[in-house]
Structure 1
Amino acid sequence: MKRILSIVLCMLMILSVAACTKETQAPAGQAETLTGVGKGFAGEVKVTVTKEGDKITNVVVDSHTETNGIGTKAVDEIPAKIVDANSTDVEAVAGATVTSEAIVYAVNNALDPAKYPAPTAAVKEDKKPEAVVAAEVYQGFGFASEGRLGPGKDDTDTPVFSFNDVFAHTLFDQEGRILAMTVDVLEVATPNYDGEGMPHFSGFPGQGGYNNDSNHDEKVDGKTEDTEENFIAEINSWVSKRDRGASYVMGAGSWSEQMDKFEETFVGMTVEEVEEWFEKYCSDLNGRPLKDGSDKPEDKAKYDALTAEEKAMLADVTSGATMSLKDPHGDIVTAIKRSFENRVPLEEVREVASMGTAVLPLHRLGPGKDDTGVSVYSINKVFANALFDGQGKIAALYVDQLEVATPNYDGASMPHFTGFPGQSYNNDENHDEKVDGTITVTDDSFLDEIKGWVTKRDRGEGYVMGTGTWEAQMDKFEELFIGKTADEVEEWFEKYCSDLNGRPLKDGSDKPEDKEKYDALSDDEKAMLADVTSAATMSLNDGHGDLVGAIKKAFENRVEIDLTVK
């Protein structure tokens, strides 16, 4: 009897489940809308799928954080492929494999969530920042650039190259001890590098492009287009290592997590102590923190000479950070040191709730051409370092910029980038607006050129433009923006700067659009602009760099701190 009852109950359960399943399906001929999620290169990819019976009629990517110009190719193409095939068994978009697979998984999750469950994100403990009190605070920004030969060569025996810009935003107390720090790196490689997510640069237009591994399978698929359009697209897609996010995993964790661990270790130290820590506790071979069990005799001897307490400290550090602090991937130690050397006192700051750091790269076509008709090009990277109060208003701001131009640019103090080894470009060696010959890049000249890059602030008094040096003009804008939110800075720019060139409006413009915009202002607004333009007339957003966008991005990148100055 019990056996019969059990069979009956099982049958009833099966019928019940079948009935429930049938109730969730749309009637034949009616559209059914489903949502799904997949894990992309830079975060979640969410989709909406529409189907009628067994036919997929529409796929829409609702939200994503994939890299513009790379992952977005898959966002543009994969949904249509799925609809056309009426299947998720479609070929990935070359160069955007991870994003392609994320969209496919999201659609599968929508269609069959039992078989394709939504990916779960790791839960990270939300730690509140430790309260810090200081009598005096100094803000510093440091920059250090390195070229890298490699890693290796592609399958056609063409070398891979990259350049790495490290930038450090640091707060110091009156004794030079680090109160808070954010370090980031922009790494850009030739497009034959096979790692997905790496920003690429092929060289300047006219240099012939570069070998391209578009689908990251360690096989060259051809060359990148030798066009201004590709030059623009590549630079516009550059993102820093922090902006590459949790997907950029290496060794003990993501790059950001490892850098966070080092920053945590260095808080409370002076720059000299950071250098001493590096010299004592990192490998002389590769700049990585020492670990027990190394198979390198030099590292083993250095580690074995440490005390038990020092070994325990290193075990804690290397549980979260094993990457190098100084190698061709970037000289982090030097960037921190330079941030101390460049520090400025913050005399009016009393409370800081967050700090933000950002880099915003931008291309420039020009200015003009040399005397042989070859175009001049440049790359501009704006670095914005901001402190914000609890209301998101700017408490302190330090903006700098790196501009590098082709060597046919005639400015005497302009940093140059000729290209990668094997490429060549016209050279105006004595800056007389006449080409003296052509430079062909070697491994040594590539490394030396990048090592010599200096920012506009570091170019100092020699870099004069309009009403003063670049540095003095930027100081005036920074002073103006204190007390404003990032949105208010953007609003100020929209209202008080030229729509033609991004410069602050002035009385007497010969441009009708600027004159009309200026004349519509009140007397008080005109007086304010007269004060601004007495010291700062350069553009806040043009081909030289998007300063406003960088400030806004610094706000978006902000991290909590709890700093009180007494």
Structure 2
Amino acid sequence: MKKALSIVLLVSLLISAMTFPAAADVDATSWATPATQETPTATPKAPTAPAPANTAVTTSVPSGDVYTVVSGDVFWKIAAKFNMTIDELAKLNPQVKNISLIYVGDKLFVKAGATVPVATTAATPAPAAATERKLYHGFGESANYRIRGEQKDNLNITTASVIFDQDGRIVDLTWDVMEITYALFPGWVDPAADQATKDAFVASIDDVWETKREEGYAYDMTHLISKGAADNLTKKEWFEQLDYYESFFKGMTVAEVVAWNKKYTDANGRPYKMAYTEKLTDADKAVTATFTAEEAAMLVDVTTSATMALEDPHSHFITALVEAYEAREEIK
């Protein structure tokens, strides 16, 4: 019983030490089909200050073809529409700092062209007042005990720290997992020991206990350290795959994320490996055959960067995300 209480106390300390991400002013569009949550309309970005009346303003724009982003667009879809790779489209549009975050009304250059000056001398009308935006923070966690038999069981505590906008869309997302294994218990200190002994024990745990993010490459899901070469499909480490998912889901509502995970993952909770079709089972092929070309292309893009599950005995990322949304509070 004392050991069980000690585990709970240690886990509570770890969770309370996790930091929250800073809020970012983002308004991304999403292609995903909503489930039960109402899909809000995109909020326009705050307008820039107008130029003084009758003052010439010179800008530079490529002379090639221009595409205007509409609701439902994502970067890879636009690239495919114009027979381009994502990298080719990104190089034509250096003004896009994060290809996962594009806005309705944005102009994207979809054909290379010379840069030409454009002069404007007319007075610029004052923009309409920007709509006040509200941000919300939510924190969720989900613990699950994983039975592994001869490999020894472990306890996984998944956390989600999320910033939502007033429409319920994800502005910033940080997932992490504390995987508590037998190796994390160097032995229990005698409750009757002096304070110095107890302090030394706590310090020894602090040196050993890390979340998977904190472990970084040392977690070695790729086996790069243990075997000398990455042998997983993506060649991406655990935190790198999670980084991709966090960026991919920005701009979506929680309902859209849940719907995406339900539709585009296999029996093991992993996204259908469209980038590695030789890994698809017959059951997988039967399902993926019903996807549109755009859906298949999306999954190719996803699985070149991330193939791990978001809801399985390893961790409960989706559950933690839902809890974060339900617990959200406005940031004042």
Q: Give the TM-score of the pair, scaled to structure 2.
A: 0.51
CA contact (8 A) 1:201 1:235 kept: no
* Cα distance change of structure 1 residues 308 and 201 upon mapping to structure 2, 3 Å threshold: farther
Q: Tell me the secondary structure at the aligned position of residue 283 of structure 1.
A: coil
Among residues 327, 332, 340, which one is paired with 2:325 in the alignment? Answer: 340
Cα distance in 1 for partners of 2:132, 2:219 equals: 35
CA contact (8 A) 1:203 1:231 kept: no
Cα distance in 2 for partners of 1:134, 1:177 equals: 16
Report sequence identity in percent: 39
Cα distance in 1 for partners of 2:250, 2:206 equals: 34
Deviation at 1:248, TM superposition (A): 3.1
Among residues 132, 135, 147, which one is paired with 2:133 in the alignment? Answer: 135
Q: Write 1 or 2 for the structure with the bigger share of strand.
A: 1
Deviation at 1:311, TM superposition (A): 0.9
Instruction: Give runs of aligned pairs for residues 141-156 of structure 1, distance below 5 A.
Output: 141-150=139-148, 152-153=149-150
CA contact (8 A) 1:201 1:231 kept: no
Q: Which has the higher contact order (CA 8 A, sep 6+)?
A: 2
Among residues 241, 256, 259, which one is paired with 1:276 in the alignment? Answer: 259
Cα distance in 1 for partners of 2:159, 2:246 equals: 13
* Cα distance change of structure 1 residues 131 and 246 upon mapping to structure 2, 3 Å threshold: farther
CA contact (8 A) 2:169 2:250 kept: yes
Deviation at 1:134, TM superposition (A): 7.1
Instruction: Give runs of aligned pairs for residues 220-369 of structure 1, distance below 5 A.
Output: 233-234=204-205, 236-250=207-221, 251=232, 252=234, 253-284=236-267, 286-291=268-273, 292-347=277-332
Provide the aligned length of Structure 1 versus Structure 2: 186
Among residues 150, 155, 160, which one is paired with 1:168 in the alignment? Answer: 160
Q: Tell me the secondary structure at the aligned position of residue 156 of structure 2.
A: strand
CA contact (8 A) 1:181 1:263 kept: yes
* Cα distance change of structure 1 residues 336 and 290 upon mapping to structure 2, 3 Å threshold: same
Cα deviations across residues 384-415 of structure 1 (Å, max 9, x unaligned)? Answer: xxxxxxxxxxxxxxxxxxxxxxxxxxxxxxxx
Instruction: Give runs of aligned pairs for residues 389-400 of structure 1, distance below 5 A.
Output: none
CA contact (8 A) 2:141 2:159 kept: yes
Aligned CA RMSD, in angstroms, stands at 2.7
* Cα distance change of structure 1 residues 304 and 324 upon mapping to structure 2, 3 Å threshold: same
Aligned letter for 1:271? V
CA contact (8 A) 1:294 1:300 kept: no
Cα distance in 2 for partners of 1:203, 1:314 equals: 45
Deviation at 1:302, TM superposition (A): 2.2
Q: Give the TM-score of the pair, scaled to structure 1.
A: 0.30
Cα deviations across residues 249-308 of structure 1 (Å, max 9, x unaligned)? Answer: 433211111011111111111111110000000112x21111133353333322222111
* Cα distance change of structure 1 residues 300 and 201 upon mapping to structure 2, 3 Å threshold: farther
Equivalence for 1:201: 185
* Cα distance change of structure 1 residues 266 and 205 upon mapping to structure 2, 3 Å threshold: same
CA contact (8 A) 1:145 1:166 kept: yes
* Cα distance change of structure 1 residues 134 and 141 upon mapping to structure 2, 3 Å threshold: farther
Cα distance in 1 for partners of 2:280, 2:139 equals: 37
Q: Which runs of 5+ in 2 are unaligned?
A: 1-95, 104-130, 191-196, 222-231
CA contact (8 A) 1:202 1:231 kept: no
Cα distance in 2 for partners of 1:131, 1:308 equals: 21
Cα distance in 2 for partners of 1:299, 1:202 equals: 44
1:184 and 2:176 matched? yes
Q: Tell me the secondary structure at the aligned position of residue 243 of structure 1.
A: helix
Q: Tell me the secondary structure at the aligned position of residue 309 of structure 1.
A: helix
Aligned letter for 2:140? G
Aligned letter for 2:301? D
Cα deviations across residues 118-150 of structure 1 (Å, max 9, x unaligned)? Answer: xxxxxxxxx956699971111111111111112
Larger radius of gyration: 1
Cα deviations across residues 352-372 of structure 1 (Å, max 9, x unaligned)? Answer: xxxxxxxxxxxxxxxxxxxxx
Q: Tell me the secondary structure at the aligned position of residue 145 of structure 1.
A: strand
